[in-house]
Amino acid sequence: MAEIKKTNEAVSVSINKWEEGSHLFKITSHSLLLLNTHICSYKKCIQSAPFEVGGHTWAINYYPQWFTSHSSFYAVLLSEGKDVNAKVQFTLVNESGKPYQGVSTTPYYNCIFNFRRKGSEHGYDYFILHSQLFPYLEDDSFTIKCTLRVLASSVKQHLMPHPIREAPPSKIGSDFGELLVSGEGVDVTFEVKGKLFPAHKCVLAARSPYFRAEFFGPMRKPKMEEHTKVKDIEPEVFMALLHYIYTDSLSKIEQELQFTHTTLAEKLLAVADQFLVDRLKIICEDILCDKISVENAAMRLVLAEQHNCGRLRNACLEFLADTDNMSLVMLTEGFRQISLSCPWVLGDIKVKDISKKC
How many Å apart are CA 197 and CA 12, to the nearest integer?
63
Helix 261-274, helix 235-247: angle, nearest 10: 80
Domains of the chain: 17-157 (2.60.210.10), 175-282 (3.30.710.10), 291-358 (1.25.40.420)
Written as one letter, the residue type at 14 is S
How many Å apart are CA 320 and CA 328, to the nearest integer?
10
Nearest-CA neighbor of 95 among 31, 26, 147, 148? Answer: 26
Nearest-CA neighbor of 275 among 195, 211, 196? Answer: 211
Hey, which residues does 141 pair with through a beta bridge?
Answer: 138
Nearest-CA neighbor of 298 among 274, 326, 276? Answer: 326
How many Å apart are CA 59 and CA 73, to the nearest integer?
11
**Digits of tens for pLDDT over the chain (358 positions)?**
455 555 556 788 888 889 999 999 999 988 888 776 554 455 688 999 999 998 899 999 998 876 667 888 999 999 998 889 999 999 999 888 888 876 665 555 578 899 999 999 998 888 888 888 888 888 999 999 999 999 988 888 877 666 777 888 888 888 898 999 998 999 999 999 999 999 999 999 999 999 999 888 887 766 555 788 899 899 999 999 999 999 998 888 877 887 788 889 999 999 999 999 999 999 999 999 988 999 988 889 888 988 999 999 999 989 988 888 888 988 888 788 777 777 777 776 654 444 444 3
pLDDT for 236: 93
Burial class (CB in 10 A: 0-12, 13-18, 19+), 24: middle
Rg (CA), the chain: 47
Do residues 248 and 283 lie in contact, with contact meaning Cβ atoms separated by under 8 Å?
no
Q: What are phi and psi of 311, to 5 degrees?
A: -65, -40
3-state SS track over 322-344: CHHHHHHHCCCHHHHHHHHHCCC
pLDDT for 283: 93
Helix 297-306, helix 345-357: angle, nearest 10: 130
Residues 6+ apart with CB under 8 A from 244: 250, 253, 268, 277, 280
According to DSSP H, which parts of the chain are helical?
30-35, 130-133, 172-182, 201-207, 209-216, 235-247, 251-257, 261-274, 278-289, 297-306, 310-320, 323-329, 333-341, 345-357
pLDDT for 171: 87
Do residues 213 and 219 lie in contact, with contact meaning Cβ atoms separated by under 8 Å?
yes
| Distance in Å from the first CA to the final CA of the chain | 89
Hey, which residues does 138 pair with through a beta bridge?
Answer: 141
How many Å apart are CA 220 and CA 164, to the nearest integer?
48
**Pairing state of beta strands 142-160 and 84-93?**
antiparallel
How many Å apart are CA 63 and CA 76, to the nearest integer?
12
